Chain A
Amino acid sequence: MSSLAELQARALKEIREAADLEGLKRVEQVYLGKKGELRQQLGQLSSLPKEERPAFGKAVNDCKLAISEALEERERELQAAELTARLSGEGFDPTEPGQPFETGTLHPISQITEELVDVFQGLGFSWLDGPEVEFEYYNFDALGIPGDHPARESHDTFWLKDGNVLRTHTSPVQIRAMERFGAPLSVIVPGRCFRNETVDASHEHTFYQMEGLMVGRDISVSHLVYTMKTCLREILKRDIEIRLRPGYFPFVEPGFELDVNCPFCGGIGSPDCKNCKVCKQSGWIEMLPCGMVHPDVLRSGGLDPEEWTGFAFGLGLQRLVMVRYGVNDIRDFTGGDLRFLRQFTRV
């Protein structure tokens, strides 16, 4: 019996001293395993007198129970210690960056185009396209800019050998859309345009514009104001003020310039406006030309101006990107220098 007590004491001591779960497993093997000490003790049972056997059997069982309990308890202790150790966070640097992987980018003009398309799609406008090489008729005549009109000169047109032009604006698609879809009509036409200008940091012979056109039974200036305000609020991601002032474009009547309160200083009345170089202290920046579609343009599109009225606008896309991100050289948009393009990581 004394050896059983001694065995239990020894086992409990070793259990207490087990440093980790693996050590504990070994201790368990030594005492409770198939060839463990307790089994060996039980092996002596047959050599004992019959009357002693039940008592001995019980003693061995008690011993086993005690060791098992101790093992479980120690296991819980060790598991808890291990978890605590794992949670210590040693060697963790919260500023260490992750593994980079190859990514691509969309051209910033594609990005702004998509944003605009999404906003206008939400307002029920269709996204259209038109030919980049255009008939003189659609680019000029149908828009009320006949051969000797002074506005033609400001358009610095690229003429092709076949007598066609590289479109100088997206406005020809106004006529094409009316011819194709009739009225009512709400379309936007983002696209590439061309003007024969000398290229420098703020001028390009290739530029991107978005035309907008809404024609309906009673479309008025107040609808234009609402639509422009809604769209610009989405694009500029702020609550905005706009103002319309007279502006002249042959294919609208009345025509307007639309100004937005300056995004850099906040506009008139803000403390920064007095020093603002962007709006030159006026509080406004010129955003886009727009107006009510000229009756002759509606007629060119096959619509009766007595029945239908509409508004149109044109938005310069490079300028929008330049204003938003402070890009200061318009030439960066073309040619594909990845050092420029890879900075536009939004999609």
Chain B
Amino acid sequence: MLISLNWLQRYVDLSGLSPEKIADDLTLTTAETEGIHPFGEALAQILVAKVIDCGPHPEADKLSVTKVDAGTGELLQIVCGAPNVAKGQTVPVILPGRRLPDGTKIKKGKLRGQVSHGMICSERELGLSDEHKGILVLDTDLAPGSPLTEAIPVRDVLIEIDNKSINHRPDLWGHYGFARELSAIYGRPLADPLLGRSLDLPQEGETLALSIDVPSEACPRYIGAIAHKIRIQSAPDWMRYLLIAVGQRPINNIVDLTNFLMLDLGQPMHAFDLHAIRGQRISVRFAKEGETMKTLDGEERVLEPSDLLICDAEGPVALAGIMGGENSMVSGDTQSLFLESANFHPATVRRSSARLGLRTDSSARFEKSLDPSLAEEAAKKFLSLLPEVSPGAILAGPLQDPSAWTYEPKRVHLRTERASRILGIQLEESKVRSILEPLGFELTKEDEKSFIVGIPSWRATKDIGIEEDLIEEIGRSYRYDNIPEKAPLRRVQAPYRDPELWTLRKIRHILAEDCAMNEVYNYSFLGDELCERLGLTDLPYAEVTNAIASHYTRLRRDLLPGLFGSMALNLGPQDQVALFECGKGYRPDQAGETRVDPETGQTRSLPQEVHQVVGLIASRKDKGAYSLLRGRLEHLLTRLGRPQFSSKLLQEAPPWMHPGRSASLHPPGDPDAPAFGSIGELHPRILQNLDLDLGEDQAAAFCLDLRSLLAVPEQPLSYRPVPKYPEQPVDLAFLAPEGLQVATLTKLLKEANPKLVQGVRLFEVYRGKGLPEGKKSLNFTVTLCSPKRTLEAKDEERYINRVRDLARELGAELRG
């Protein structure tokens, strides 16, 4: 919203204050300002000039050739097409090389053979109105060559207000509200809204049958009045100039007057052509099912029973608070009018205007919960200005105000000590008083420590209702930037550490820093396309009803599908990717938190949110993805204090995991306990569906369920003294049948001599060439060491022989 300093100046003296200062002070105490815009600079480029001579154009009937004194020291010849140009007039002239307010550059030209040194301007060309029938004739004694802005005081400075910052302040949707704020900020007096005009309202006379046929909440107030002998013409200059400056195009005196009052006091009003009102009656009612009306923008509107209407005896004449009807609008022929100044329910106006896609300056204001008192104030101001705006106009009857609305000031208890405590400053009673009274609050002392504060009507609709609201008033006027900073004094206490969050943080670092994997974030939504490609459509999902894009309705159950999307994205530019993600999956089929609504007794429950850590490795060139990933996962578990775990072939593998080449992870020694995670190669079909040309063992993924992982007890870090005697590494190679698991052989190698074996490490698995069908080669390094002596060759020999015998029992052959 633009506010004009000239406009504000009518109500509060702003002399000696720069626009920058005013804008800053408003930002810090009232509303966010977004810029300062000088207005009318372009009109200073245009000069006041005298028409010295005026004669017909020799070649064209409709053109005149004039000689003009624009104070340049010589008479200028200007060709003019306006019918009203005449010798002796004072007119606005623009010289070649200068620009009109709309940016058009004027050039020296020739019209039908006659040179023209510029242009004499109409109001429309000057951006002052739509008037273009003739040139603007000035009524001024200014010397030729004076800037036009001396004759027309249109120069102004506008401050742009961020509308969002006044959404909660219905009193700030007109200039008067800002004038009130500035009067309080600078301690300067505030003029009354009528600027001392008197208003003689007839006590009786002509009225309409006026009824409010809706609950008072829907239409708290409806004021009407009738005026005759209206002449539709231009509004007075001063009013038009103010409207132009804030970007409101002047239309005619009556429309301009309603617009002026909307921008002045913030009250939208509507003027009907009285003769278009059928049956001498106006009623406020809700629309009937299927009812239609044509609004004054020419659109046929289909209404619903929630739309509030203004109707005459036969049907709708306006959409209440949003827009008038085409059938009853003021036109050039209007001679009598019915003025409406009303107050409508904010949510009703908001819903109708949103549904109809019809947001107007009027609806925007009613949505903010306007003060019903304002309707009366604005009606009075309208009627007091009417004789000036439309000379000869007659008020035909009294103000009709059937709602009998009165404002009984809301009272709020305010404790100075409470205000001091919340703001963190020491306030005196006198300070509280001197801040609140200029803003219109009425303070009565209740006792030693507190006031009873009467809230003015313009702050009472939704803005101010509790003590804290008043403390905000005090704080903003005191200025928050005057409040000193202070360190809170608190008892020293170790902050609560959430085990899941802090473990997750550790996991992120291990995977990124140790494991050289890259963390990605994917949406919580599972796109339809990915879902279909991965064959996951049959699972139960939490679904969004109003998805931003129709293909994002499902919430992910698992993180891996999203990570596959990241893999597919990156496997083009990169040959190999190692990715991980930490986040939540949503499981509507698993009971989460439940809540009973105390009012309705209804029970709702949230989907279970599972915290997952997922990772994957994929390579377009090399095999071995599974082993690379498993090594990282083992490292991660070791770092997390759980180096020991048991694993077995994954049962009921999710559709993206290879059913024969995946493992589930369980607590150590308990492979039948619930799994805390899984790792495996990706299902070939998934890779194919993702258009990824990856073969066996070129893509593998893991998934950990954080909560289950944390349920596995941490294993104590066991310290072993540094050996006193040398360690003896022994390499052992087995030719083993495929069915024999590494875990079994590892166990065997340890148990062959538990006293001497310090460590067993698998360093190579080999399959293929040179080996019989169904066999694999497993190569271990076993570290032998005795705490009592240096081992001899025969110790090693004895150990190897024992291993050979044990292995043979399992069908494995120790080679070499």
Binding site for B on A (CB under 8 A): 101-107, 109-110, 114, 117, 121, 124-129, 131-135, 137, 148, 150, 153, 158-164, 166, 181, 184, 186, 192, 194, 196-199, 205-206, 214, 216, 218-223, 225-227, 229, 243-248, 253-257, 280, 292, 294-295, 309, 333-339, 341-342, 347
B758 CB within 8 Å of chain A: no
Chain A: minimal CB distance from B506 (Å): 11
> Would you give 9 A-B contacts (Cβ < 8 Å), ordered by A?
A129-B500, A162-B607, A223-B424, A226-B486, A244-B483, A253-B471, A254-B471, A255-B472, A341-B520
Question: Which residues, 488 to 509 on B, are CB-close (under 8 Å) to A?
Answer: 488, 490-493, 495-498, 500-502, 505, 508-509
Say yes or no: B424 contacts A131, CB within 8 Å: no
Binding site for A on B (CB under 8 A): 27-32, 35, 165, 167-168, 346-347, 350, 354, 367, 421-425, 466, 468-469, 471-472, 475-476, 480-481, 483-488, 490-493, 495-498, 500-502, 505, 508-509, 511-513, 515-524, 542-548, 555, 563, 565-566, 569-570, 573-574, 577-579, 581, 583-584, 586, 588, 592-593, 595, 597, 604-607, 609
Docked Cα-Cα span, A225 to B471, in Å, equals: 17
Chain A: minimal CB distance from B597 (Å): 7
A148 with B588, Cβ < 8 A, contacts A197-B548, A334-B522 known:
no
Docked Cα-Cα span, A254 to B476, in Å, equals: 9
Say yes or no: A220 contacts B422, CB within 8 Å: yes
Chain B: minimal CB distance from A283 (Å): 10
Say yes or no: A162 contacts B542, CB within 8 Å: yes
Say yes or no: B512 contacts A114, CB within 8 Å: no
Docked Cα-Cα span, A314 to B32, in Å, equals: 19
Say yes or no: A342 contacts B604, CB within 8 Å: no
Chain A: minimal CB distance from B7 (Å): 22
Docked Cα-Cα span, A104 to B354, in Å, equals: 49
Docked Cα-Cα span, A219 to B487, in Å, equals: 10
Say yes or no: A135 contacts B569, CB within 8 Å: no
Say yes or no: B597 contacts A181, CB within 8 Å: no
Determine the chain B residues whose CB is within 8 A of the CB of A114 once the complex forms: 505
Determine the chain B residues whose CB is within 8 A of the CB of A192 once the complex forms: 524, 583-584
Docked Cα-Cα span, A244 to B498, in Å, equals: 32
Residue in contact with A219 in the complex, picked from B367, B488, B578, B609, CB distance below 8 Å: B488
Other A-B pairs, 15, CB within 8 Å; known A160-B545, A225-B424:
A104-B519, A124-B490, A127-B501, A131-B609, A133-B542, A153-B354, A192-B524, A199-B548, A222-B483, A223-B487, A243-B28, A243-B480, A245-B29, A338-B573, A339-B573
Say yes or no: A309 contacts B422, CB within 8 Å: yes
Say yes or no: B569 contacts A336, CB within 8 Å: yes
A137 with B595, Cβ < 8 A, contacts A110-B519, A248-B168 known:
yes
Residue in contact with B542 in the complex, picked from A105, A150, A160, A339, CB distance below 8 Å: A160
Residue in contact with A131 in the complex, picked from B31, B487, B521, B592, CB distance below 8 Å: B592
Determine the chain B residues whose CB is within 8 A of the CB of A255 once the complex forms: 472
Chain B: minimal CB distance from A275 (Å): 16
A interface SS class:
mixed
**Considering only CB atoms, which chain A residue lies closest to B588 in the complex?**
A162
Docked Cα-Cα span, A318 to B17, in Å, equals: 39
Return the 10 tightest CB-CB contacts between A and B, nearest first: A336-B520, A222-B424, A220-B424, A336-B566, A254-B472, A244-B480, A104-B512, A102-B516, A222-B486, A226-B485
With a 10 A CB-CB cut-off, give which of B27, B486, B495 has the most chain A CB atoms: B495
Say yes or no: B28 contacts A150, CB within 8 Å: no
A-B contact count (CB 8 A): 244
Chain B: minimal CB distance from A116 (Å): 12
Docked Cα-Cα span, A117 to B506, in Å, equals: 13
Determine the chain A residues whose CB is within 8 A of the CB of B542 once the complex forms: 133, 160-162
A164 with B606, Cβ < 8 A, contacts A124-B490, A150-B367, A338-B518 known:
yes
Determine the chain A residues whose CB is within 8 A of the CB of B475 once the complex forms: 221, 254
Docked Cα-Cα span, A105 to B512, in Å, equals: 5
Say yes or no: B481 contacts A243, CB within 8 Å: yes
Determine the chain A residues whose CB is within 8 A of the CB of B581 once the complex forms: 336
**Considering only CB atoms, which chain B residue lies closest to A105 in the complex?**
B518
Residue in contact with A196 in the complex, picked from B35, B421, B546, CB distance below 8 Å: B546
A253 with B468, Cβ < 8 A, contacts A137-B595, A194-B524 known:
yes
Say yes or no: A246 contacts B29, CB within 8 Å: yes
Determine the chain B residues whose CB is within 8 A of the CB of A248 once the complex forms: 165, 167-168
Determine the chain B residues whose CB is within 8 A of the CB of A105 once the complex forms: 512, 518-519
A135 with B606, Cβ < 8 A, contacts A160-B543, A221-B475, A336-B579 known:
yes
Determine the chain A residues whose CB is within 8 A of the CB of B583 once the complex forms: 192
Determine the chain B residues whose CB is within 8 A of the CB of A347 once the complex forms: 509, 512-513
Docked Cα-Cα span, A128 to B729, in Å, equals: 49
Docked Cα-Cα span, A222 to B501, in Å, equals: 31
Docked Cα-Cα span, A104 to B511, in Å, equals: 7
Chain B: minimal CB distance from A93 (Å): 28
Chain A: minimal CB distance from B419 (Å): 10
Say yes or no: B481 contacts A244, CB within 8 Å: yes
A133 with B609, Cβ < 8 A, contacts A104-B517, A105-B518 known:
yes
Say yes or no: A104 contacts B515, CB within 8 Å: yes
A225 with B609, Cβ < 8 A, contacts A245-B27, A253-B466 known:
no
A295 with B606, Cβ < 8 A, contacts A114-B505, A223-B487 known:
no
Determine the chain B residues whose CB is within 8 A of the CB of A107 once the complex forms: 519-521
With a 10 A CB-CB cut-off, give which of B31, B425, B521 has the most chain A CB atoms: B521
A256 with B480, Cβ < 8 A, contacts A132-B524, A161-B545, A335-B520 known:
yes
Say yes or no: A159 contacts B424, CB within 8 Å: no
Say yes or no: B165 contacts A135, CB within 8 Å: no
Determine the chain A residues whose CB is within 8 A of the CB of B508 once the complex forms: 106, 110
**Considering only CB atoms, which chain B residue lies closest to A198 in the complex?**
B548
Determine the chain A residues whose CB is within 8 A of the CB of B367 once the complex forms: 150
A253 with B555, Cβ < 8 A, contacts A125-B495, A243-B480, A336-B522 known:
no
Say yes or no: A181 contacts B496, CB within 8 Å: yes
